[in-house]
Amino acid sequence: MQLFLDTTDVGVLKDLAATGLVDGVTTNPTLIAKSGRPMLEVIAEICDLVEGPVSAEVAATDVAGMLAEGEKLAAIASNVVVKVPLTRDGLIAVQEFAVQGIQTNVTLCFSAAQALLAAKAGASYISPFVGRLDDHGADGMELISEIRAIYDNFDFDTEILAASIRTPAHVTAAALAGSDCATIPPDVFAALFKHPLTEKGLSQFLADWAKTGQSIL
């Protein structure tokens, strides 16, 4: 499963990308606002840091506006993926982007029926918001499983990008449910490396090694 970082913090991105385990980046208007920087500048800088897909979201809600904004965003770099809301106009725009060869990430997906429409429209990625569904008493991972089954039934090329990830357990569950990718906040990404038994075991190994008085070098 591909792991994307959900961030516009270039410093954090540089640090975590150094692991070689970051496959791409997703952004949204909220993250851009928090950065306090011009959107096009941020996206360009992120695209220089990672080779994988970088999602940049349109702000327009009508077809013409989304197409104009999406074309401008796609011109920033070859790895930009235009992020479009899952609305009627959004999916009409996605079809046109597909004709132009522009990759798209259809966001704010909360049902399997919506995901089916996005795939039919030619979306490159579908972003089901698992955490937000859990917040409202639904099962976000069940949605991932449903979308996986539908896409496999009809050989859709659209990739499932699990979003609104809150914990390392969410990442594991998304992988088990068949998600192609997950976009993860930096703190959750960092937590994937950790387990108390790993830390305890390493401390014991190092203590035992020190008792030998040996050096490998």
pLDDT at 96: 98
In the beta sheet, which residues pair with residue 4? 24, 183
Q: What SS3 string covers the chain?
A: CEEEEECCCHHHHHHHHCCCCCCEEECCHHHHHHHCCCHHHHHHHHHHHCCCCEEEECCCCCHHHHHHHHHHHHCCCCCEEEEEECCHHHHHHHHHHHHHCCCEEEEEECCHHHHHHHHHHCCCEEEEEHHHHHHCCCCHHHHHHHHHHHHHHHCCCCEEEEECCCCHHHHHHHHHCCCCEEEECHHHHHHCCCCHHHHHHHHHHHHHHHHHCCCCC
pLDDT at 136: 92
* Average pLDDT, 10 consecutive residues per value, the chain (217 residues): 97 96 96 94 96 97 98 98 98 98 98 98 98 92 98 98 97 98 97 96 96 96
The structure tokens listed for 77 are 């770099």
Residue 183 CA to residue 108 CA, distance in Å, equals 13
User: What is the model's pLDDT at position 201?
Assistant: 97
User: What is the chain's alpha carbon radius of gyration, rounded to the nearest angstrom?
Assistant: 20
Task: Point out the residues that are catalytic.
Answer: 83
Contacts of 189 (CB under 8 A, 6+ apart): 3, 5, 16, 22
* pLDDT of amino acid 50: 95
Q: Which has the closest alpha carbon to 70: 111, 108, 106, 45?
A: 106
pLDDT of 181: 98
Q: Is-above-0.75 flag for pTM?
A: yes
Bridge partners, residue 56, by sequence? 82
Question: Which pLDDT belongs to residue 128?
Answer: 98
- Strand-pair category, 2-6 with 181-184: parallel
Q: How many CA atoms lie within 13 A of 8 on its CB side?
A: 21
Residue identified by tokens 């077809």 is: 63
Tell me the sheet residues that pair with 80. Answer: 54
pLDDT value for 97: 98
Superfamily of 2-212 according to CATH:
Aldolase class I (3.20.20.70)
Which pLDDT does position 114 carry in this prediction?
98
* Domain range summary for the chain, segments of one domain joined by +: 2-212
Q: What confidence score (pLDDT) does residue 154 get? A: 98
Q: What is the pLDDT of residue 94?
A: 98
